[in-house]
Amino acid sequence: MPNISRDEVAHLARLARLAVTDDELDVFAGQLDQILDSVAKVSEVAAEDVPPTSHAVPLTNVFREDTVRPSLEQQDALAAAPAAEEGRFRVPRILGEEQ
């Protein structure tokens, strides 16, 4: 018995704004069902005496020290820009007013 139905896959596709054909619904339902089964198997194996970890070995801070260094002046950074406005890069609008 599948864990996820075609209707649930269609609903997820609508939420993600994906155009999905009827054939793809069947394929995705099967794939998602396999994923859910795999997650269930991992959940069964996970023992309560094993603490959750994000890495197999302990890590220390691997970032470099945050130091102030010289950088470009604003005018120099904008000098090669195709368009600038009020001291910023001017870029075309990509989102419509409906959002």
Write out the two tokens for 13.
Answer: 């596709």
Residue 85 forms beta bridges with which residues? 88
Strand segments, DSSP code E, in the chain are 84-85, 88-89
Asked whether 81 and 89 are in contact (CB, 8 A), the reply is: yes
Helix %, strand %, coil % of the chain (to 5): 40, 5, 55
Residue 97 pLDDT level (bands cut at 50, 70, 90): low
Residue 2 pLDDT level (bands cut at 50, 70, 90): low
pLDDT, mean of residues 47-72: 82
Write out the two tokens for 99.
Answer: 């959002």
- pLDDT by residue (tens digit) across 8-53? 999 999 999 999 999 999 999 999 999 999 988 887 877 777 777 7
pTM for the predicted model, two decimal places: 0.46
The pLDDT, as a whole number, for residue 20 is: 93
